[in-house]
Amino acid sequence: MIKTNKLNSPLIVLAILSSILLIKLGVFRTLIYGEVSWLRLLFVDFPIWMLLPVLLFVVLRRVSPVVALIYNLIISALMVSIVWYERYFQTVPSYFDLQQGDQAGSVMATVSLLFTPLDLLFFADILIYVALFVFYWNRPLTMKNRKKIGAAAFVLVVISAVTTTVALQKPILDMTLFAKEQGFVQTQIVQAMQQNSASAQMNLLSNEELARLKGNEFVPFAEHERFGIAEDRHLFVIQVESLQNFAINQSIAGQELTPNINALLGDSLYFDRMFQQIGAGNTSDAEWLLHMSLLTRGLDPTVNYLNGTELPSLVDLLNDRDYYTTTYHADELKYWNREELYPALGFDYAYSLNEIPNEDVIHIGPSDRVMFQFAEEEIRQQMAEGKKIYANLMTMTSHTPFTMPEKDEYLELPEAYEGSYTGDYLQSIRYADETIGEFIEFLKAEGIYEESIIVINGDHSGLHGTPMKVSDNNLMSELLGHQYSLKDRFLLPFIITAPGLFESEVNSNFGGQVDMMPTIMNLMGMLPEAPMVGHNMLQYENNLLAVRYYLPGGSYITGDHMYLGQNARYPERYYDFDTMERIEIDKETIDKNQANSLKILDHSDALLSNYLNEDAEEESEEGS
């Protein structure tokens, strides 16, 4: 009888649940942060993760193996998702990212690159809970004496409240480092609850102050070099999925990776030192940076929080000059909230999967060739109606996982590259280049090439994260002739083709995606009608960029050096930007540039707040 009572004790189920959860949290911390730290595990992580099932048992007045099983399945799925996210983006997700679960379908192919058989161990405990369920079938687990369970719940509540309160007092400088030290769940609570208290204290910068923080002397926009030389030309912006700068003028086995883009360089102004600045919004953030010249929120997609205010965008400026403004993206408008973004930016029409034929599907949607051919027919009609055109054309085929149908492989790769992640990327970029070449031929055939500006830019990096195996990094080093670095990953091409205006011109002034809009405006003779954070890269040589999300909090880049703040896995690092060799920490320079970059971030956030919902005022950045 005594043995039966002991076997029927709910404390046995709780002990098993606790033990399994501790093991999972230990594995989770090892995979995410590279260490366990038993003290933080026991007193920061475990109490708050264990709190929910214990409270459920108190409310239900019984300990149920079924509830324990369901809870562990949910927790296991969540942990694996976080691990996969960190493997790809090399940062932990925020609760904003976890809210994007309904949009994951378009990138599910990437999961196969992130999965390892060891991930299944997170679900190995299912067998234990099934055994508990069978064993306790028809055996009551009602808590006759609830004092012990109640006391346990009270202790867990107190510890969780204390650790969360401590976390709320600290700024999130780096998402992963904060989660490592303060707890992953606590980090999500801090983001959800913490008001952006700095926003009320932010002081907007004058144009002169902003230029000075970047190391320049302010020059009025209308006095900039080559102002208005491309006024009234048609404007075509081609945003290429995952196109990194190293691909331009690069060859493999005697074959150019981007022969059509390379051919355009003879009529182009090519900025070869433009740095990625997107946050969690990825491609949608790239659209925001191009059209607004304001920084993004960082930890969550900026476009998810637009309040419906009409934006003082590049599109709006073009509308005022009687351009017919369109955007072409072979995806659903609801993805990244583009059904709100495009009207706010002011586009006359946004072409999506509603109009673009869902044919020749590669990866996540219609091929780039289908998108361009559709756009050509629309542009031909617009030209027949005498319209002045702005077309924003967004490619998608070179999205992860990069594998291309054999009919669309234009490269004969060396054997070592065949079937590799790197080789697949090179093939996808070569395909994107081929379709761009076909579109350029269309413009020439229609007689509007000489009357146009064609901008080609990458939205973000493609070769990064766990899918890049050691062998892939070795292949990249072989291709580039040097070790594949963060500089190679984050530099994106920014090419402005304007026949008759440029001839094989390369500009190596350092800039970021936020600088594209003012540079285009300068050439087209458009004066700013609202403050911008970026500047005209033709006018200013110096720059100071703070990069949220994809670099540790506190990181910044100048044209001379790159400083990476401390994160969960690495101490602070300091690089010569040209050579990417580690250099000695210069604390005085770092402190000055960090302070200046923070002022720029705060200035941008103050401007951004005019266009966002009030409930988007939570702390959103890693760098402030």
The answer on 235 and 363 residing in a single domain is yes
Judge whether 201 lies within some domain: no
Domain C-terminal end among 159, 193, 227: 193
Q: Which two tokens stand for residue 415?
A: 């054997």
pLDDT tens, residue by residue, 102-133: 444 444 556 667 788 888 888 888 888 778 77
Whether 497 and 590 share a structural domain: yes
Predicted local confidence at residue 199, as pLDDT:
43
Q: Does residue 200 form part of some domain?
A: no
> Residue 220 class from Cβ within 10 Å (0-12 exposed, 13-18 middle, 19+ buried)?
exposed
| pLDDT score of 203 more than 80 | no
- 3 state SS for 433-496: HHHHHHHHHHHHHCCCHHHEEEEEEECCCCCCCCCCCHHHHHHHHHHHCCCCCHHHHHEEEEEE
Q: Are residues 221 and 273 in the same domain?
A: yes
Q: Are residues 145 and 221 in the same domain?
A: no
Residue 621 lies in a domain: no
Whether 611 is covered by a domain: the verdict is yes
Cα-Cα-Cα-Cα dihedral sign, residues 263, 264, 268, 271 = negative
CB 346 within 8 A of CB 326: no
Q: Above 70 in pLDDT, residue 144? A: no
What's the pLDDT score for residue 94? Answer: 72
Please report how many Cα atoms fall inside a 13 Å half-sphere around the Cα of residue 90, on the Cβ side: 15
Give the model's pLDDT for residue 141. Answer: 57
CA 595, 280, 426, 376 dihedral sign is negative
Q: Token digits for 241?
A: 């999925």
3-state secondary structure of 215: coil
For residue range 606-617, list pLDDT tens digits in order. 999 889 875 544
> Do 100 and 138 belong to one domain?
yes
**Is the pLDDT confidence value at 2 over 50?**
no
Burial of 588 from C-beta contacts in 10 A (0-12 / 13-18 / 19+):
exposed
The 10s digit of each residue's pLDDT in 565-604 is 888 888 889 999 999 999 998 899 999 999 999 999 999 9
Collapsing DSSP to helix, strand or coil, 624 comes out as coil
DSSP codes joined into one string, 573-594: EEEETTT--B----HHHHHHHH
> With b meaning 16 or more CB within 10 Å and e meaning fewer, what string describes 369-387?
bbbbbbbbebbeebeeeeb
What is the 3-class SS of 330-366, one letter each residue? CCCCCHHHHHHHHHHHCCCEEECCCCCCCCCEECCEE
Mean pLDDT, to the nearest integer, of 479-484? Answer: 96
% of the chain at pLDDT higher than 90: 60
The reply to whether 279 and 355 lie within a common domain is: yes
Q: What is the pTM of this model?
A: 0.83
For 268, half-sphere exposure in the C-beta direction (CA atoms, 13 angstrom radius) is: 21
- Please list, in sequence order, all residues whose beta carbon lies within 8 angstroms of the beta carbon of residue 145, skipping any fewer than 6 positions away: none
Would you say residue 241 has pLDDT above 50? yes
Whether residue 7 is predicted with pLDDT greater than 60 in this model: the reply is: no
DSSP calls for 483-550: ---HHHHHEEEEEEE-TTT-SSEEE---EEGGGHHHHHHHHHT---SS--S---TTT----EEE--SS
Name the pLDDT band for 622 (thresholds 50, 70, 90): very low
| Residue 122, helix vs strand vs coil | helix
The pLDDT mean for the chain works out to 88
| The pLDDT value given to residue 529 | 93
Q: Would you give the distance in Å from CA 279 to the centre of its chain?
A: 4
- Interhelix angle for 283-292 vs 338-345, to 10°? 10
pLDDT band at 201 (very low <50, low <70, confident <90, very high): very low
Residue 280 inside a domain? The answer is yes
Cβ atoms within 10 A of the Cβ of 452, count? Answer: 21
Q: Strand locations in 352-413, DSSP E?
A: 361-362, 365-366, 388-394
Determine the pLDDT at residue 475.
Answer: 97
pLDDT of residue 197: 41
Contact 58, 65 (CB under 8 A): no
Distances (CA, A) of 561 to 340, 492, 557, 616: 38, 17, 6, 33
pLDDT at 139 over 70: no
Same domain, 223 and 326: yes
Contacts for 168 with CB less than 8 Å, ≥ 6 apart: 189, 190, 193, 194
pLDDT band per the 50, 70, 90 thresholds, residue 549:
confident
Closest by CA to 487, choosing from 286, 275, 289, is: 275
In a domain, 461, yes or no: yes
Residues 353 and 476 in one domain: yes
Q: What angle do CA 179, 287, 399 make, to 5 degrees?
A: 75
Tell me what pLDDT residue 103 has: 47
**For residue 357, pLDDT beyond 60:** yes
Which residue range forms the structural domain that includes residue 445? 206-616
Averaged pLDDT for residues 454-470: 93
Query: 60 versus 250: which is more confidently predicted?
Result: 250
622 within a domain of the structure (yes/no): no
Phi, psi values for residue 504, rounded to 5°:
50, 50
Indicate if 183 and 319 belong to the same structural domain.
no
Q: Give the domain-ending residue among 193, 217, 250.
A: 193
Measure the CA–CA gap between 61 and 64, rounded to whole angstroms. 9
Higher per-residue confidence, 94 vs 101: 94
- pLDDT at residue 145 above 60? no
CATH of the domain at 580: 3.40.720.10
One domain for residues 455 and 539: yes
Residues 247 and 210 occupy one common structural domain: yes
- Contact criterion met (CB below 8 Å) for 317 and 285: no
What's the confidence (pLDDT) of residue 619?
Answer: 39
Cis peptide before 531 (omega within 30 of 0): no
Task: Answer with the residue of higher pLDDT: 616 or 318.
Answer: 318
Among 193, 221, 256, the domain-final residue is: 193
Nearest partner of 98 among 179, 196, 17, judged by Cα: 179
First to last CA, the chain: 62
Q: Is the dihedral of CA 14, 15, 17, 18 positive or negative?
A: positive
The dihedral sign for the CA sequence 417, 421, 426, 430: positive
Number of separate domains in the chain: 2
User: Coil, helix or strand for 234?
Assistant: strand
* Tokens at 561, concatenated: 């050096």
Compute the residue count for the chain. Answer: 624
The whole-number pLDDT of residue 107 equals 46
In angstroms and rounded to an integer, the radius of gyration of the C-alpha atoms of the chain is: 27
- 261 shares its domain with 236: yes
Residue 624 within any structural domain of the chain? no
